[in-house]
Amino acid sequence: MVLTVHIHQQFSGHPVYIKFANSLMITGVFLILAITVMEVNRLRHKIWLASSIVLKSREA
């Protein structure tokens, strides 16, 4: 995190740009995490549905 700020400072020298870049990066990370969690939950649900169907067909 500090390293990226330092690199940005070397290239641009605009503190506003650094703040914007960092907030953008944080937002991106949060978005990726949220999407990943959503996908995992959806997959879990699909697996649960499939396993329950398999169990029902075995019982019948």
The per-residue pLDDT for range 5-48, each reduced to its tens digit, is 555 555 555 676 777 888 889 999 999 999 999 999 999 999 99
Count of structural domains, the chain: 1
Q: CB 21: neighbour CB atoms within 10 A?
A: 16
Q: Which domain holds residue 7?
A: 2-59
Residue 59 has pLDDT above 60, yes or no: yes
Q: What kind and span of H or E run contains 47?
A: helix 15-59
Determine the pLDDT at residue 1. Answer: 47
Residue 2 has pLDDT above 60, yes or no: no
Residue located via tokens 């700020």: 5
pTM beyond 0.75: the answer is no
